[in-house]
Amino acid sequence: MSEIDKLLEVMRKLRDPEKGCPWDVEQDFSTIAPYTIEEAYEVADAIEREDFDELRSELGDLLFQVVFYAQMATEKGYFDFADVACGITDKMIRRHPHVFGSDEQRATGKVDGSWEEIKEEERAVHDDTSALAGVAKALPSLKRAQKLGKRASRVGFDWPDTKGVKEKIHEELEELDAAVGSRDMAHIEEEFGDLLFAVVNLSRHLDVDPENALRRANNKFECRFRAMEADIAAEGLEFRKMTLEMLDQHWRKAKRRIG
């Protein structure tokens, strides 16, 4: 029995209504979905830390999520794990004609643009023919904004360079200032969202992944802040009783040391 077959059998036993685990038995697609998102982030975190022992473990956790969905789908007669594996195999072959295609396609060796062209052909068979079709609503908002902007750009709805995007950011900042002046929280939130969307468009033009950029900024802030806390504690001072000017001096010191 292969390792994947063993895993599938473990999942079947966990979901057995009489002899399985009560928690596993009571789950459904919607209750498992948040765990899947969490596991995907833990995979990304292990990669970021270059902890490959942890990555192996986290990939196992993520694979288990796929097996869980497949078992629930099997019970309802929707599909099984083999269907999932077959579907992705067929898709990868279809989307890589320069590797798996005819002699002519392989000889051409075309890669740039072909992936998205094939994806657009696949979307064309569905009812939703919008250029934005298939951009999952459950994506993190930064990632979804990036994908929406990219899709719109492919059909010509975009600025030709970063100059127009920067002007848009300044425009959105002015509109946010006006909304803040009105003290209308719904309006403030709307304008703040528009500003974030414009900034994500700038990241796309700069070929920067906004999710990665923000994650690195978060990590940098945390390292500097913890260093500042440690310095203040080492001087026998109490953080909450310090003035903003004193805190700023320690912050600058931490920045010089941490980078």
User: Which residue pairs from 121-125 have beta carbons closer than 8 angstroms and sit at least 24 positions apart in sequence?
Assistant: 122/94
Q: What is the CATH number of domain 3-79?
A: 1.10.287.1080
Residue 48, pLDDT score: 84
Q: What pTM, to 2 d.p., does this model score?
A: 0.65
Rounded Cα–Cα distance for residues 132 and 58 (Å): 31
The list of the chain residues with pLDDT below 70 reads 103, 105-126
Rounded Cα–Cα distance for residues 131 and 117 (Å): 12
Chain segment 17-34, per-residue pLDDT in tens: 999 999 999 999 999 998
Domain-by-domain residue ranges, the chain? 3-79, 141-208, 212-258
Chain segment 228-245, per-residue pLDDT in tens: 999 999 999 999 999 999
* Same fold: 3-79 with 141-208: yes
CATH 1.10.10.10 fits 141-208, yes or no: no
Residue 120, pLDDT score: 66
